[in-house]
């Protein structure tokens, strides 16, 4: 096994540690680790990422269910359009993208290049969300109000984005739950994990029918990521996750810019 592969498996553990420490964001590293360290094809890497993200988020969701932080009705309202969109995206839209899309000057835009550039764009958006300090006011308990049309539209948008890049989309889901469903921040984070797990794993089902999955590799990678979550939760007792979040956001921003540079130049 080469050093770069060992680093790739260490990356799987690190993804889980970040998820355990800061409650999200780590999954955005899954595709770069799979593509650049473990040599997985970008389209297949987004499929594997859905399974890793879905399984990791499910672990987090179960922990939050035990603490009674999950708003189930909100999760169902948001999840249905999201998982329909992600399944259709993985089953029909991604396979329909042609291998060669267009040529701009000397740059040939292939399906793999387009997916990686779009992924880099999502990484940069996610990094801004992490770097920007979110002031959370202590909110009195209030009845959850549902803006159904906007929740459905947001669910479809998040589903399509998840389907294309294989990331969880928590940086889009959490603000939507706070603004559209009036959930307190802690409940929004907990509920987003359940939504992410449902839509990611259902999206992956669309891939099982289209792609040849290397199950032993995928299960080892996912197991390392889940082990990392428990390690991250343990380390959270000694490290302030919120302070780490901004630093990790800068790291994700640099990674996003690096992917653009690497793919184009």
| pLDDT tens-digit map of 75-105 | 998 999 999 999 999 989 999 999 999 888 8
Residue, of 239 and 109, whose pLDDT is higher: 109
Of the given ranges (7-11, 35-39, 61-65), which has the lowest mean pLDDT? Answer: 61-65
Q: Which domain holds residue 161?
A: 3-264
pLDDT given for residue 204 in this prediction: 92
pLDDT in the model for residue 10: 95
Mean pLDDT calculated for residue range 230-251:
83
Q: Check whether 233 has a pLDDT greater than 60.
A: yes
Q: Is the pLDDT of residue 29 over 60?
A: yes
The pLDDT tens digits of the residues spanning 125-164 come to 989 888 886 654 545 555 656 677 888 888 899 899 988 9
Give yes or no for a contact between 195 and 78, defined as CB atoms under 8 angstroms apart. yes
pLDDT classification of 247: cutoffs 50, 70, 90: confident
Each residue's pLDDT tens digit, 176-221: 888 888 888 888 888 988 998 999 999 898 888 788 999 999 999 9
> Number of folded domains in the chain?
1
């Amino acid at each position: 096994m080469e050093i770069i592969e060992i680093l790739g498996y260490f990356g799987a553990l690190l993804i889980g540690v970040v998820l355990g420490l800061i409650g999200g964001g780590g999954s955005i590293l899954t595709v770069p680790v799979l593509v650049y360290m473990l040599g997985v094809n970008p389209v297949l890497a987004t499929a594997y990422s859905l399974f890793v993200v879905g399984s990791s988020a499910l672990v987090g969701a179960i922990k939050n269910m035990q603490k009674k932080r999950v708003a189930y009705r909100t999760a169902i309202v948001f999840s249905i359009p999201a998982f329909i969109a992600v399944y259709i995206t993985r089953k029909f839209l991604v396979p329909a993208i042609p291998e060669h899309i267009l040529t701009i000057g000397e740059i040939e835009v292939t399906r793999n290049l387009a997916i990686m550039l779009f992924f880099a764009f999502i990484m940069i958006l996610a990094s801004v969300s992490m770097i920007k300090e979110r002031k959370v006011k202590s909110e009195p308990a209030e009845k959850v109000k549902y803006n159904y049309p906007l929740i459905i539209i947001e669910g479809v948008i998040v589903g399509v984005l998840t389907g294309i890049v294989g990331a969880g989309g928590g940086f889009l889901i959490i603000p939507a739950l706070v603004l559209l469903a009036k959930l307190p921040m802690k409940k929004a984070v907990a509920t987003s994990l359940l939504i992410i797990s449902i839509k990611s794993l259902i999206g992956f089902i669309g891939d099982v029918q289209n792609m040849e999955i290397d199950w032993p590799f995928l299960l080892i990678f996912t197991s390392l990521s889940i082990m990392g979550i428990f390690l991250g939760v343990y380390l959270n007792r000694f490290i302030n996750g919120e302070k780490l979040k901004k630093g990790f956001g800068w790291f994700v921003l640099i990674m996003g810019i690096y992917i653009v540079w690497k793919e184009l130049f």
